[in-house]
Structure 1
């Protein structure tokens, strides 16, 4: 990727003076994989990805260029014109064909504020000849400061482009304190602060037909994304078709396109960041955290202070190590309220097939709602102190279980009545109980429901029995709060 003036100024503090004259915009490039910098047609130096110190520095070859920037840009455009035009033609043709095939679905662009979604946005509006294509930005509330600045700039440059911003009702730091900071194993933040709020907005735009979303996802970004298809029915958001016009593009191709067209982009890239996303993502590289410390010291210090205090709250044997790097490898809820992800049960005197459960957390009055996906319910009795209902098979109407819920003693007595599939049904019951106890109203369940039967609003969780068809999609879906609180190991 190209190296810009703010990063060049940073580099000049770390390399020998004789290299300074080789560092120019559009003429200095870096390979993000190994942090090797190139200029004047040769390798200039290589930095440590961890410390940003110089690892190797061969003697510079040739004489430094003194060509004016405008002249350099003209040479760049001439050299890459055919390449850019070919890429652009293919991508725009794909966009038009995809819109034609899925005619009737509202078209929108998933806009992250990164370079890839900037290119995708430019391609979509060019291909369709429209500037009024809806853009949706998922604000996780922990974006780079430069991302928020770029968002304002983009909207000012495109006054006719409608913009919707989705934002979680959950406070990131409060959630991280409650269920632990996100880690590379327990990355709950993507669900709670990005996908779920985004799904709520997307599903409301076209509840019946669904939407066609274009994004800037590319295979070369990660091993996981290398398996993505160009068009998919997105599993994270119900009733959304996702199309990725630049999925085969390289990082270099994206930068050539941006520079060739002179597009404005997120200034975080000019400051040494290779990727733009969430400030506190556990997948951020050591280099990214080094740049965060240097460029955004206030946000960096807030996160480090939080991690140190969280490590102490969790009883970590070395809170300093936890704050430095250990949080990224967190695999369980040790030191947190992990009891919420546990089930306390005992045999019940009602029957040999009955089990008594104790609701350790959450509202026992919501048991019926969490059990609704398991099958239709018949209410037997309900008052201020308790309720009793039956759960039926949604296909055969066979009685699966009778459920008694005590609101005051927080006891749930379940008599399992089915003969076949009892073990699987019991596992589903207990999975829903864990969700009840751990629920933080993040919206993961409602995002999964294609029939819009689940509502999470004003810290209240409910399932509409008239809409729920017991498809079990929400039951099979892994709850991010339960996963983060579950105690692993001894």
Structure 2
């Protein structure tokens, strides 16, 4: 997009068609309201004008291109500190009209290109869809989007939908009404969940970066249901225009102008994906569009009042300007802190530093697990559920044919009948399966039990179901057995198969991971592996490593399955011999090492399962996310080992599993990017993907599974969890594997609603290594 420079003639900014600008594209105008809130009136004289007075990049303030102040610190309970570089300023407003004239040629050129694109997309898809929708959030980007759309499409060709999370700030609701009046000829609809969000905060627990239940329940569910009700179809086809921009986040930066929706048969159009912040504001000034007052107060992004992904800066503005509006949410967070035994200044620090944003389990929620599952000596499985919220016998229908008598019955899963006996005592129920249950079937039965125990009828499963077999009727769940395809989507879209059950999960995930920091503060290094492979026998006697480094390397090699313990000896394994033949310089070797580490290393398993793709994580964030079950020193050592692994091996920069972010020579953060495009995938051989699929099949004891399940939150391994490969690219790889190596290795069915992967039960992951190495192994 266009670069930006300061324009001292107008006090504003100017767009340049080249990359010669000296201003960050995330520049924003600063109004007198923000200066008043922060206390700049003590140092400067400025008018209370409608026009902007200064510009801001990050926390730095610029007047006529000169940096005149900077803010630091701030958050809930804390005022930001002002650092004034030029006192006694008498500030004049930006000459907006002149600034617009200086930029009009570029703005109109970009706008007309965007208008043409909006029109082209509508013409292309209008006969293939049921409805065109414009998403409106009340922010500057969706304001620009709506204005662009209404310039080229007639009012009867689309609807505008505002999703009210009930967590919006008052200026947003005021702005929505202003926009409705401005575009009074348009159909505005509001989607809203029936229960206010603050009630769900109290019921489910504070949302966090791990437990993002609020996005699903308060954004996705009500919007989809609104569209379904409007069109009178369970799976309507939608063309959706939104105001997503690429420079807002790493994830959004990877989007193209068109993408597919997750739930509905939805085509998402992102007309301003390439626009930068400067372009957005200049368009608003050019078109004299209204602006949400939140921007005038210094808030950079409009959204929910309190959010685990929000910046300290926004929290500072909220604390200074909207204290009464955020008070109910802070009270819930403070109660959560007290329940975690925080007191006094420690409690305030807990809130201010965002410790609540890193919540993983139910610690501090004062909740007991309602589900108890045990295996008795006769291999019978007993499930006890205390006061289930929903009927277990209804949810079990998602697994297959159910026959229920009193006191016995059976469930048939993929042709296998599992008889059970059941007993109800008061509000509690006990189900005893009288025969051994296959591991994968037991997994699904457990999730059925969690769902029935914790279900609050939030509607998420209803929209996740691809066959519309789940309905909420008269405050209870009903499964339509005729529609249900037993695809298990409702049981696998999230851990435990239920948003609430996942939120209530005991904080045991990391506790069970013994020796999380077992590598003696060192990560594996490529040069160490090269030395080891060059002369394995000699390495045990003579190497370049220190004593502690040698112990660390031995542990890494063992967890990579390059070494194995046989009796009292540590020897090179079959995998190790094959990888030695392939060599440490081959990225295939590192892909195999990573795949094996996920299975054997508690630290790597945690990273794969608990750290989402698509953004950077600083060291402190990783340390906090690891969990309070470990001492701080243990957590710091574990993250040091992880950082070094990515820093000194191709796993980091080349396979992009954890790209080191440097400040000087110091790695300050890890960016979990993944192999998200075809160019990246040149570093990953197709057989490494096949290896990961066979490992997955061996772990789950299934050689027949689906592409979709590999993308479920509950997936234990697989190409997406390991390498971050998008679904569309994985499907291409699967087709390529079948074409190159034949159905004797892999057979895929990617037609219509099918996304089946069928592996050969007579082969295994070791055979894939042999195939790549081109050697036979006895």
Q: TM-score range by the shorter chain?
A: 0.7 to 0.9
State the 1:88 CA deviation. 1.2
Q: In 1, Cα distance between the equivalents of 2:173 and 2:474?
A: 27
> Which residue does 1:434 correspond to in 2?
450
Q: What do the CA deviations read for 1:411-466 (whole angstroms, capped 9, x no partner)? A: 11235577xxx211211111221122122221111121232221235542222112
State the 1:20 CA deviation. 4.2
Task: List runs of 5+ in structure 2 lacking aligned partners.
Answer: 1-27, 512-628, 630-778
Q: In 2, Cα distance between the equivalents of 1:115 and 1:131?
A: 24
Q: In 2, Cα distance between the equivalents of 1:301 and 1:75?
A: 42
Does structure 2 conserve the Cα–Cα contact (< 8 Å) formed by 1:205 and 1:211? no
In the superposition, the TM-score normalised over structure 1's length comes to 0.87
In the superposition, the TM-score normalised over structure 2's length comes to 0.56
Say whether residues 1:55 and 2:69 are aligned partners. no
Aligned CA distance change for structure 1 residues 417 and 205 (closer, same or farther; 3 Å): farther
Higher RCO (CA 8 Å, separation ≥ 6 residues): 1
> Which residue does 2:365 correspond to in 1?
336
> Which residue does 2:205 correspond to in 1?
180
Counting matched residue pairs gives 466
Where do 1:76-475 residues align within 5 Å?
76-104=99-127, 105=129, 106-130=131-155, 133-206=158-231, 207=233, 208-235=235-262, 237-316=263-342, 318-324=346-352, 325-336=354-365, 338-340=367-369, 342-347=371-376, 352-363=378-389, 366-375=391-400, 377-381=401-405, 388-393=409-414, 398-408=415-425, 410-415=429-434, 422-475=438-491
> Which residue does 2:36 correspond to in 1?
9
State the 1:245 CA deviation. 0.9
Q: In 1, Cα distance between the equivalents of 2:54 and 2:249?
A: 25
Q: In 1, Cα distance between the equivalents of 2:272 and 2:191?
A: 24
Q: In 1, Cα distance between the equivalents of 2:133 and 2:153?
A: 12
Task: List runs of 5+ in structure 1 lacking aligned partners.
Answer: none
Aligned CA distance change for structure 1 residues 387 and 277 (closer, same or farther; 3 Å): farther
Aligned CA distance change for structure 1 residues 456 and 228 (closer, same or farther; 3 Å): farther
1:477 to 483, 493, 503: 493
Say whether residues 1:487 and 2:506 are aligned partners. yes
Q: In 2, Cα distance between the equivalents of 1:49 and 1:79?
A: 36
State the 1:27 CA deviation. 4.5
Aligned CA distance change for structure 1 residues 117 and 329 (closer, same or farther; 3 Å): same
State the 1:337 CA deviation. 5.2
Does structure 1 conserve the Cα–Cα contact (< 8 Å) formed by 2:413 and 2:441? no
Q: What do the CA deviations read for 1:337-389 (whole angstroms, capped 9, x no partner)? A: 553475432328xxx5531100124146x1132222222x142526xxx5624
> Which residue does 1:46 correspond to in 2?
70
Q: In 1, Cα distance between the equivalents of 2:288 and 2:357?
A: 37
Q: What do the CA deviations read for 1:312-333 (whole angstroms, capped 9, x no partner)? A: 3454565443333321222211
Between 162-171 and 49-58, report the one with greater CA deviation. Answer: 49-58
Does structure 2 conserve the Cα–Cα contact (< 8 Å) formed by 1:203 and 1:239? no
Secondary structure, counterpart of 1:137 in structure 2: strand
Q: In 2, Cα distance between the equivalents of 1:7 and 1:153?
A: 22
Q: In 1, Cα distance between the equivalents of 2:91 and 2:168?
A: 37
Q: After TM superposition, where is structure 1 displaced by more than 6 Å over at least 4 residues in a row? A: 21-24
Secondary structure, counterpart of 2:250 in structure 1: coil
RMSD: 2.7
Between 437-446 and 95-104, report the one with greater CA deviation. Answer: 95-104
Structure whose CA Rg is larger: 2
